[in-house]
């Protein structure tokens, strides 16, 4: 465990934090000076705590800007495993921090807001998977990484949207597969791999906000733009044929780097556009919907990152008996990809 901060630094740090907003979310910095002060404070606290800050692609821009690494859930899991920092401040949602905690039992994993969950992950339970196994004793259960540790503990393989096709293609062809919890990603994987996949009916509310009519009008307005779609999108089943590329968030980042075009319509949570615009200032990016925001991801804020480092909260732990079983599908995925 890291040493406690000297009391004087602790008090200075706490005094510098703006008050939380009335909606339970920390107040969003309104001016660049405030953002700069918070960023400097976090940098100082980070050094004191020997901490690293990992941020998901959907985090607000100011968090992405100060993070040591920004990426998708697979990239963040790999970074968590590789770091020699003593503390990981995980700016993402709870299941991601759980994965980091399981991969790094010797490190302290903090999440800035304990309420930053995932609506999609909440749509499947361990009991439901056990019931499916009773009906399909030879079946394999594959979970999207967007699941709780308790659910992963019931599964055979884990996938991300980056490696789902690769993992499923590695499985025996004669086995029934249950894919949980995302219906749209599961539909995409089923179409790509031609495997016998039973689909769970879960969905991500942020990606469900991406409606076909919005995308059609954007394509009309920007005929030169390539249309990049995330496989979690609710419009996927109806508009897969319109997408130039169906890609994970990391896949989008890499694709834009090599794409000949200069304009892109991006169908995923809007946080990714901050990273794309920072990396490729000479390209134009259009959000498929400005309403595609994850309210869980947006619970984290600069203030809460600073507060997490001051008070060393909220520590994410996974019960060892659950962690041992939940790590198996994750390690199998990492071994394949
Ligand atoms: Fe979960 Fe959707 Fe938010 Fe991702 S964007 S964390 S899938 S609710």
Q: Quick check: 55 and 92 in contact, CB under 8 A?
A: yes
Residue pLDDT, tens place only, 31-52: 889 899 999 999 999 999 999 9
**Would the CB of 113 count as within 6 Å of ligand 1?**
no
Q: What does pTM read for this prediction?
A: 0.88
Distance from C-alpha of 334 to C-alpha of 337, rounded to nearest angstrom: 5
Enter the CATH code of domain 206-287: 3.40.50.10800
Q: What share of the chain is helix, strand, coil (3-state, %, to 5)?
A: 45, 15, 40
> What pLDDT digit, counting tens, does each position of 244-274 carry?
999 999 999 999 999 999 999 999 999 999 9
pLDDT tens figures, 203-251 = 998 888 788 888 889 999 999 999 999 988 766 556 667 789 999 999 9
Question: Under CATH, which number does the domain 7-117+296-318 receive?
Answer: 3.40.50.10800
- Does the fold of domain 121-203 match that of domain 7-117+296-318? yes
CATH homologous superfamily of domain 121-203? NadA-like (3.40.50.10800)
Cα(2) to centroid(ligand 1), Å: 31
Beta bridge pairs of residue 194:
none
Contact 318, 149 (CB under 8 A): yes
3-state secondary structure at position 271: helix
Q: Work out which ligand 1 atom sits closest to the CA atom of 269.
A: 5
Cis preceding linkage at 172, omega within 30: no
Q: Which ranges of 18-57 does DSSP label H, i.e. alpha helix?
A: 32-49
Domain ranges for the chain: 7-117+296-318, 121-203, 206-287
**Cβ(100) to ligand 1 under 6 A?**
no
| Rounded distance from Cα 34 to ligand 1 centre (Å) | 29
What is the end-to-end Cα distance of the chain in Å, rounded?
Answer: 32
In whole angstroms, how far apart are CA 142 and each of 11, 96, 135?
47, 17, 16
């Amino acid at each position: 465990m890291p040493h406690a901060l000297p009391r004087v630094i602790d008090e200075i740090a706490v005094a510098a934090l703006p008050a939380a907003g009335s909606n339970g979310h920390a107040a969003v910095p309104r001016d660049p000076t405030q953002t700069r002060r918070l960023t400097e404070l976090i940098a100082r606290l980070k050094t004191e705590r020997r901490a690293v800050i990992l941020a998901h692609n959907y985090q607000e821009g100011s968090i992405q800007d100060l993070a040591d690494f920004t990426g998708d859930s697979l990239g963040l899991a790999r970074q968590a495993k590789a770091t020699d920092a003593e503390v990981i401040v995980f700016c993402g949602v709870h299941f991601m921090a759980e994965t980091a905690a399981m991969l790094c039992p010797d490190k302290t994993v903090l999440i800035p807001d304990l309420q930053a969950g995932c609506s999609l992950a909440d749509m499947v339970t361990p009991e439901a998977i056990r019931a499916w196994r009773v009906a399909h004793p030879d079946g394999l259960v594959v979970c999207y990484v967007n699941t709780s540790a308790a659910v992963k503990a019931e599964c055979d393989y884990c996938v991300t949207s980056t490696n789902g096709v690769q993992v499923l293609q590695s499985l025996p062809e004669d086995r029934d597969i249950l894919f949980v919890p995302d219906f749209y990603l599961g539909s995409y994987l089923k179409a790509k791999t031609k495997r016998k996949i039973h689909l769970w009916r879960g969905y991500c509310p942020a990606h469900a906000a991406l409606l076909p009519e919005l995308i059609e009008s954007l394509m009309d307005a920007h005929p030169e733009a390539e249309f990049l779609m995330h496989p979690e999108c609710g419009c996927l089943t109806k508009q897969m044929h319109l997408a130039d590329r169906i890609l994970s968030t990391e896949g989008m980042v890499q694709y834009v780097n090599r794409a000949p075009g200069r304009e892109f319509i991006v169908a995923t949570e809007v946080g990714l556009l901050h990273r794309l615009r920072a990396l490729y200032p000479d390209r134009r990016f259009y959000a498929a919907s400005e309403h595609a925001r994850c309210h869980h991801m947006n619970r984290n804020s600069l203030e809460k990152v600073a507060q997490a480092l001051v008070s060393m909260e909220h520590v994410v732990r996974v019960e060892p008996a659950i962690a041992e079983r939940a790590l198996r599908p994750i390690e199998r995925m990492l071994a394949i990809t």
